[in-house]
A and B are shown apart, each in its own frame.
Chain A
Amino acid sequence: MIKLGAAETKATYDAIVVGSGISGGWAAMELCKKGLKVLLLERGRNVEHVKDYNTALLNPWDFDLRGNTTVQYKAENPIQSQGTDAGNAHFFVNDKEHPYVQQKPFHWFRGYQVGGRSLTWGRQCYRLSDLDFEANLKEGVAVDWPIRYKDIDPWYSYVERFIGVSGKKENLSQLPDGEYIEPFGLNCIETHLDESIRKNSHDRLLTIARVANLTRGWDGRGPCMARNLCSRGCPFGGYFSSNSATIPAAMATGNLTLRPYSVVSEILFDDQKQKAKGVRIIDTITKEHFEYYAKIVFVNASTIATAGILLNSKSHRFPNGFGNDSGELGHNLMDHHSAAGAQGAHEGFKDSYYKGRRPCGFLIPRFRNLQPNSGLDFTRGYNIQGHGERSEWMDTRDAGGFGADYKKSITHPGHWTVWMAGWGECLPYHDNMISLNDTQKDSWGLPLINIDFSFRENETKMMKDISQSSAEMLNAAGFTNVQTFNYGKPGGDTVHEMGTARMGHDSKTSVLNAHNQIHAAKNVFVTDGSCMTSSASQNPSLTYMALTARACDFAVEELKKGNI
């Protein structure tokens, strides 16, 4: 049921979930399926699957400015407008209404609505491996992950089986295989590049992206119609989102209460019981404050917002923010970099084309620093993501000339090209952090969030290697006009923020334990990106979902045992 206004305030639930994005949706579904009465809080509006995908079926010419946003939109949304178009802008916040403080340039893309950014995510689903879970310990960087691959492996499978992931097994230790449905195909230039890469090196290969796009019907959703318009919301349910899958499943149990327009201002601490007793929210429409109570609280507001809520939750026990005995809350912010790479054209395969718009590209799994002492000037690694295609009007229109010949050239398929860039690990630096602004507040009286983040020497050196290795692979495969690039994008641009409430063994140096419980308040679980102890280089959403499902299972067991 959907709850609005002042009805049943001060109500008590078994569990409260803060945030309805990719991890919050999972928490709500798992807890509901296990029989708990759950209140799911979302600061934005409701977005109902299919019904609220207003742009999903529009043709380019159905938009007043085709795909373009207006000059007023761009002026009001200097950050979001860099990643949005007329088809999906309504799934991103308004920068003017939701300001934050960039102590250094940082692009914070947000989707304040039911489903959050699960509506607009890139849908890549990659498992982390022990190469990632052991890296901090082996290198003496930050703190050790309190879990290893064996702890999360079954939960990866559990999540993959539910969401439906298309992909291909490759039997790599650094990128463990999961449970996949039929992969999308590689086109002929990608197959050619793959063959060249496998021929020229023993430790590299190219594989189709593993994505939550359904190549066949799955649990009443899909299949994907190959329109590649995912970020508008998919009326065919062709990809996984909270809206299409977890929230409807949670609703179907009869145990879910969804309250949109509810921004959580703080987690309430019970001094007597030494645990959380609930949350305080502000109705974003009426600006009234309400309290809700529960036995357990899952905080899934997304990395930066989650840390903001916890920092704002001050009590006698936690004067510096909820669960912040270590002083690490808000620190160790990470985001992958994805600015460096290379592109090239190929003269061959002129007699081949493709049909349909594949909603993903290819992946070249990590091949750097798989062994210690590899002799490189940076630590950790990157995976390369890219796509091959034939040039079309967007690519060929800059050619000189005009008239009938020019028209012919832009309306017929041009050269094959490949674009590829490295998605690279970012180390956890203590002083890459978020904090609450002392003076500036938003429309709801909540302190603005300061973001102080920069990539450092290790990331910069890695980017150089990405460009070089990408260019080498393209050159070796006979590409021409190979050009390296580094777009020099600031943090936030990959939209993989993580690390602000990290997991660890020790309550003195971390916020969460191995089960995503706050060390000093065991009925509060944080299972969004903020829990990440290191970033690895894999797109992280699958890991958030797996950790969430695992933590929900643990939480319910602990409840039954009376431990929390």
Chain B
Amino acid sequence: MNRKRAIQSLLAFAAIGVSSVSVYEWTSSGHTVKLTDLPQKKQLLAELAETIIPRTDTPGAKDAHVEEFIIKMIRESDQKSQHNFLAGLSSLEKYTADKYEHSFIECTPQQKIAVLKHFEDKATYSIAILNKINNKFLGTAFFNKLKDLTVEGYCTSQLGATQGMAYNYIPVKFEACLPLQQNQKAWATK
């Protein structure tokens, strides 16, 4: 047992060592995540998405593999939004490392929420029109893009649509007015 624990601490120490070096590199050379690095950020993206749409009595973002959709869609974004997203992701990694001395993946649920709250505040002006202007000239802010893609990825996934919401593949008939059922979920498609 002791031996196992010792090895674990050693590994943990090594991991901290690596991430410390990384923190140093970020601050000194302005390191940003590159598009080609995205597949390696899969786990991070999965944790971020799960913080936005957690598993409750229905599947969460991780169950629906939302991170794979996010990666595909960032590849298919315009350059400004791509840049914002990658820079935002780097900035989130650095912020987390600076504040908690470990990665986002290792954060407690409370820490994860605090980190995302910080980035949500950064992304949102209280005045709606400023958000629009911001989007137009600067591209979509990191947090907003992350949240948009998480929601879209979840709600258009099989698990999200059929279990998180209500999905009617072939309704057969339109019924215009029905009493709401108990715990009625929203239709996944319009």
Residues on A facing B (Cβ under 8 Å): 59-61, 64-68, 70-71, 184-188, 191, 225-228, 350-358, 389-390, 392-394, 397, 400-404, 406-408, 410-414
Contacts A70-B76, A389-B190, A393-B151; is A187 near B54 (CB within 8 Å)? no
The complex places the Cα of A289 from the Cα of B146 at a distance, in Å, of 54
Task: From A64, A185, A227, give the contact of B176 (CB < 8 A).
Answer: A185
Contact across chains for B179 and A402 when beta carbons are under 8 A apart: no
A211 to chain B, nearest CB (A): 12
CA distance in complex: A403, B76 (Å)? 26
The answer to whether B173 has its CB under 8 Å from any CB of chain A is yes
In the bound complex, how far is the Cα of B161 from the Cα of A406, in angstroms?
A: 16
A-B contact pairs, 18 of them (CB 8 A): A59-B161, A71-B77, A185-B175, A186-B176, A187-B177, A226-B172, A353-B180, A357-B189, A393-B186, A393-B188, A394-B190, A403-B52, A403-B113, A406-B52, A406-B53, A407-B56, A407-B60, A411-B155
- Residues of A within 8 Å of B116, CB to CB, are 402
In the complex, how many angstroms separate the beta carbon of B171 from the nearest chain A beta carbon? Answer: 3
- Cβ A60 vs Cβ B161 within 8 A: yes
Q: Is the CB of A358 within 8 A of B155?
A: no
* Whole-angstrom CA separation of A353 from B76 in the bound complex: 35
- Secondary structure call for the A interface: loop
7 closest A-B pairs by beta carbon, nearest first, are: A185-B176, A356-B171, A356-B174, A60-B156, A226-B174, A66-B156, A402-B52
User: Closest Cβ of chain B: how far from A50's Cβ, in Å?
Assistant: 15
Least CB distance from B119 to A in Å reads 10
**7 further contact pairs, Cβ within 8 A, besides A191-B177, A352-B179:** A61-B161, A67-B156, A352-B177, A356-B173, A393-B188, A402-B120, A403-B52
Per a CB cutoff under 8 Å, which of B56, B167, B180, B184 touches A404? B56
Contact A402 B190 (CB under 8 A): no
**B177 contacts which chain A residues (CB < 8 A)?**
185, 187-188, 191, 352, 354
A60 close to B189 (CB less than 8 A)? yes
Output the least CB separation between B54 and chain A (Å): 6
Residue of B nearest to A224 (CB): B174
A224 to chain B, nearest CB (A): 8
Q: How distant is B183 from chain A, measured CB to nearest CB, in Å?
A: 8
B186 touches A413 (CB 8 A): yes
B-side residues, CB < 8 A to A, are 51-54, 56, 58, 60, 69, 72-73, 75-78, 113, 116, 120, 124, 147-148, 151-153, 155-158, 161, 164-165, 167-181, 184-190
Which partner residue on chain B sits nearest A189 by CB separation?
B177
A402-B51, A411-B186 as given contacts; A225 in contact with B73, CB under 8 Å: no
Instruction: Output the residue of B170, B187, B188 with the most chain A CB within 10 A.
Output: B187
- B66 → chain A, closest Cβ, in Å? 11
**B168 engages A356 (CB within 8 Å):** yes
Bound form: Cα–Cα A374–B165 in Å: 50
Residues of A within 8 Å of B178, CB to CB, are 352-355
Pair count A-B, CB < 8 A: 149
Across-interface contacts of A61 in B (CB, < 8 A) = 156-158, 161
The answer to whether A410 and B155 touch across the interface, beta carbons within 8 angstroms, is: yes
CB atoms of A410 and B151 under 8 A apart:
yes
Per the bound structure, the CA–CA distance linking A397 and B160 in Å amounts to: 14
Hey, which chain B residues are within 8 Å of A357, CB to CB? Answer: 168, 171, 174, 187, 189-190
In the bound complex, do residue A66 and residue B69 qualify as a contact, i.e. CB atoms below 8 Å apart? yes
* Min CB–CB distance B8 → chain A (angstroms): 31
- Given contact pairs A188-B177, A412-B186, A397 touches B69 in the complex (Cβ within 8 A): no
Residues on A with C-beta less than 8 A from B147 are 397, 402
Is B174's CB under 8 angstroms from A71's CB? no
Residue of A nearest to B183 (CB): A412
Task: Decide if B175 touches A397 in the complex (CB within 8 Å).
Answer: no
A227 to B157, CA, bound (A): 18
The answer to whether A358 and B176 have CB atoms under 8 Å apart is yes
Closest beta carbon of chain B to A390's beta carbon, Å:
7
A446 to B53 CA separation, bound complex (whole angstroms): 54
Q: In the assembly, what is the distance between CA of A390 and CA of B190, in Å?
A: 10
Q: Report yes or no: A393 in contact with B165, Cβ–Cβ below 8 A.
A: yes
Q: Determine the residue in chain A with the shortest Cβ distance to B172.
A: A225
Q: Which residue of A lies closest to B164 (CB)?
A: A411
- Residues in A whose Cβ lies below 8 Å from that of B120: 400-402
B77: chain A residues within 8 A (beta carbon): 71
Residues of B close to A68: CB separation below 8 A: 73, 76
Across the interface, A350 reaches (CB within 8 A) one of B56, B180, B181, namely B180
Residues of B within 8 A of A390 (CB): 186
Bound complex: CA A389 to CA B186 (Å): 11
Chain A residues whose C-beta falls within 8 Å of the C-beta of B148 in the assembled complex: 397
Residue of B with least CB distance to A191: B177
A68 to chain B, nearest CB (A): 7
Closest to B121 in A: A400
Assembly CA distance A21 to B185 (angstroms): 40
Q: Which residues of B contact A402 (CB under 8 A)?
A: 51-53, 116, 120, 147
A389 to B156, CA, bound (A): 19
Choose among B75, B169, B171, B189 the residue that contacts A355 (Cβ–Cβ < 8 A).
B171
A65-B169 in contact (CB<8A): no
Whole-angstrom distance between the Cβ of A250 and the nearest chain B Cβ: 30
Closest to A392 in B: B186
Cα separation A224 to B24 with both chains bound (whole Å): 62
- Of all chain A residues, the one with the shortest Cβ separation from B82 is A71
- Complex: A403 Cα to B58 Cα, angstroms: 13
